[in-house]
Structure 1
Amino acid sequence: MRRASTKSRLWSNLMLGAGTAALVAGAAQAAPLVKECGKTGEFVIGFSQANNAEPYRQHVNDQLTAAAKKVPQFKLQIADGAGNVNTQTSQMDNFITQKVDLILISPFEAAPLTPVVARAMKAGIPVIELDRKTVGEPGKDYTAFIGGDNFKIAEEAGKYVADKLLPQGGEVAVLQGLPSSTPAVERLNGFKSGVKDNPKVQVVAEQAADWLPDKAQTAFAAMLQAHPNIKAVYASNDMMAAGARLAAKGAGKLDQVKILGTDGLPGPAGGIRAVAEGEWAATFTYPTGGPEAIEMAKSILLDCAEKVPTVVTVPTTAITPDNAKQLMQN
């Protein structure tokens, strides 16, 4: 059984998988992360996905699957939490019972899934959290967190509104995701922080739409009735941005309202196309963390790492009319 020799080797492995990802260092406790490991072994990785129905979640699944296929020793099992904390808890418990070698999880909600993550850690199974966090401290209550910085991504969106879209000021609205999820809270606060760069920009309405386009359409239609002079809306994901556009169209305000999304998904229904074709003003990519998660799993399971970076932060890309068409071709 071979142990990872140095911290620098682990960082090298992660950098190869993460490309330009920013790695925020911190080490898990200096003890073996798994009892069984080695390059000649075969390992099962369980992934508890929050909800396969969301396009972003499917994008995560696709990138994880593609990365795992490049590692012959890995078998990836994806479980659909279906947007239900009880379902996701049961699936996590099943992974623990099966004694999988490592667990990945994107928790649908933070607090309700914290206990089952603790059970996995107590059973000696490393847990890497993707995109969303449970309650606790990475490196202690779970092995590591990999994802974008939701606050900074939304803050960049806010600054784009304040500096580029509405330099003369104006009323703006925010469509928040599921309030009990960490990204929803961080994106709301980040956007509000970003628009503060311009005191003439006022956030006059904010409402949760739970990441769903139909709820976003209903919510933004009501916002436009209450605040007919809204000039921009920031949606915390691309699906809600699509719903907001339908509401603006229904109100006859497509020319008045600038729409911004978050996710920057590829494909015909994604945010990149919407910006490229002039439907939205911008969207901001939220990286899946899939390739980085598989690189970390390789360090733990194949290289027998005794410690890993407890936070891996993957940067965003602003998708605007300046680069959207080029990105569609990539």
Structure 2
Amino acid sequence: MSHSARTIIVAGIGVLALAACTSNTPKADPSDAAKTQAVSAGKNDEPGKKVKIGFSAPAADHGWMGAITKATQAEAKKYSDVELVVAEGTNDVNLQISQVETFINQKVDAIVLLPFDGAALTAVATKAMEAGITVVNVDREFGSPAAARTTVLGDNYGMGVSAGGYVCSQLKDKKDSIVAEIAGIDSLPLTQDRSKGFKDALAGCGLKVNNRVAAEFTVESGEKAAANLLQAAPKIDAIWNHDDDQGVGVMAAIKNSNRKDFFLVGGAGSANVMRDIKAGTSLVKATVVYPSTQGADGVRLARLLLQKKALGDLVEVEVPRKVQLFAPVVTKDNVDQYLPTAFES
């Protein structure tokens, strides 16, 4: 989704071929169709109908969340036909509901909404849709498909699968390896999905999670959880930490322990972790990306929907109902590809 959406014109090649067989019409040069498509490429980015889009997200008290809002604002500024109205980030569900109510009263054309709690924001998002406002749901799904026209998601289960797959690739010849996991907030479905993906991937190579602790996506909680883990597990071969922001605390605890008997895989894909991976001087050997472009992608999709355009790289003439972004593993071999879009912890 990082590439610009473009309009595709499907040429009537079959009709041209039939005409060539039954008349004196010159046979179509295949390059002509390519030229036609090339001419139309990029038209989605050309200025169109002016659109007003409201944006609401949780408070930027976390590097990833801050990057979401920053990237969303930067993306909107690229388009002269987009007016972005940004509500102040909040972790108060009632206040976020009020923000959406305000957008409805302002009669915005679309709302890009990353809800603090998807279930709690479902009713007001549905109200916006019923008022004729296009809602694009970002990251945390609503409780009803009727609450949004399109949803942009990361892949939490896929993060776990990617992390587990990397651990397997490094420990494939060591079946007695001890694997540890530092999760995020255990009550959240996203944490549960990440842990399930990790467990399932490890099972594929005969490994399992031997030691597990949960943190709270903060530096302080990461340090405390990691300290408890290191004290409880005298032998560890690999650790997967779900979140690079809490990973700052995790690394502090590891430094204090003087332990170097394992490697670590991060989560979300922060720039500081990627720089450590590139330098090759850290115990962190990889991280798994959870894209911070989702709000920016939401703005692009809202604009396409309002201007009645489609995704240029698809044959389908409508914007999909759901777009799920990939969770790639970043290592020293490919880190330069991902650093430019990484967030700062």
More helix by proportion, 1 or 2?
Answer: 2
Structure 2 residue aligned with 1:198: 205
CA 1:45–1:327: 2 relative to 1, 3 Å: closer
Amino acid of the structure 2 residue aligned with 1:223: L
Distance in 2 (alpha carbons) for counterparts of 1:178 and 1:114: 22
Within the alignment, does 1:300 sit opposite 2:287 as a pair? no
Distance in 1 (alpha carbons) for counterparts of 2:64 and 2:5: 19
Distance in 1 (alpha carbons) for counterparts of 2:156 and 2:69: 20
Structure 1 stretches of 4+ moved >6 Å:
none
Render the CA deviation track for 1:24-77: whole Å, top value 9, x for unaligned: xxxxxxxxxxxxxxx764322111112312111222223222221122121112
Higher Cα radius of gyration: 2
Structure 2 residue aligned with 1:186: 193
CA 1:248–1:125: 2 relative to 1, 3 Å: same
Structure 2 residue aligned with 1:285: 289
Within the alignment, does 1:129 sit opposite 2:129 as a pair? no
Counterpart pick for 1:78 among 86, 91, 104 = 86
Render the CA deviation track for 1:268-310: whole Å, top value 9, x for unaligned: xx32112223321110122223443233122222227795301
Q: Given that residues 55 and 85 in structure 2 are in contact (C-alpha distance below 8 angstroms), is that contact kept between their aligned partners in structure 1? A: yes
Write out aligned runs for 1:2-41 (5 A). Answer: 16-17=3-4, 41=49
Q: Given that residues 177 and 236 in structure 1 are in contact (C-alpha distance below 8 angstroms), is that contact kept between their aligned partners in structure 2? A: yes
Q: Given that residues 153 and 284 in structure 1 are in contact (C-alpha distance below 8 angstroms), is that contact kept between their aligned partners in structure 2? A: yes
Within the alignment, does 1:172 sit opposite 2:172 as a pair? no
Within the alignment, does 1:257 sit opposite 2:262 as a pair? yes
Structure 2 residue aligned with 1:319: 330
Runs of at least 5 residues in structure 2 that lack an aligned partner in the other structure:
7-46, 311-316
Write out aligned runs for 1:101-116 (5 A). Answer: 101-116=109-124
Structure 1 residue aligned with 2:157: 151
Higher relative contact order (CA closer than 8 Å, sequence separation 6+): 1
Structure 2 residue aligned with 1:209: 215
Distance in 2 (alpha carbons) for counterparts of 1:329 and 1:79: 26
Q: Given that residues 192 and 203 in structure 1 are in contact (C-alpha distance below 8 angstroms), is that contact kept between their aligned partners in structure 2? A: yes
Q: Given that residues 277 and 285 in structure 2 are in contact (C-alpha distance below 8 angstroms), is that contact kept between their aligned partners in structure 1? A: yes
Partner-residue secondary structure (3-state), 2:209: strand
Within the alignment, does 1:89 sit opposite 2:97 as a pair? yes
Partner-residue secondary structure (3-state), 1:193: helix
Q: How many residues align?
A: 291
Q: Given that residues 240 and 264 in structure 2 are in contact (C-alpha distance below 8 angstroms), is that contact kept between their aligned partners in structure 1? A: yes
Structure 2 residue aligned with 1:276: 278
Q: Given that residues 73 and 296 in structure 2 are in contact (C-alpha distance below 8 angstroms), is that contact kept between their aligned partners in structure 1? A: no
**Same amino acid, percent of matched pairs:** 30
Q: CA deviation at 1:252?
A: 1.8
Q: Given that residues 172 and 232 in structure 1 are in contact (C-alpha distance below 8 angstroms), is that contact kept between their aligned partners in structure 2? A: yes
CA 1:236–1:329: 2 relative to 1, 3 Å: closer
Q: Mean Cα displacement is larger for which, 163-172 or 66-75?
A: 163-172
RMSD of aligned Cα (Å): 2.6
Q: CA deviation at 1:145?
A: 1.2
Q: Given that residues 166 and 329 in structure 2 are in contact (C-alpha distance below 8 angstroms), is that contact kept between their aligned partners in structure 1? A: no
Distance in 2 (alpha carbons) for counterparts of 1:166 and 1:244: 25
Q: Given that residues 184 and 216 in structure 2 are in contact (C-alpha distance below 8 angstroms), is that contact kept between their aligned partners in structure 1? A: yes
Distance in 2 (alpha carbons) for counterparts of 1:115 and 1:179: 25
Q: CA deviation at 1:326?
A: 6.5
Q: Mean Cα displacement is larger for which, 169-178 or 42-51?
A: 169-178
Structure 2 residue aligned with 1:35: none
TM-score (norm 2): 0.75
Q: CA deviation at 1:15?
A: 8.8
Partner-residue secondary structure (3-state), 1:186: helix
Runs of at least 5 residues in structure 1 that lack an aligned partner in the other structure:
1-13, 20-38
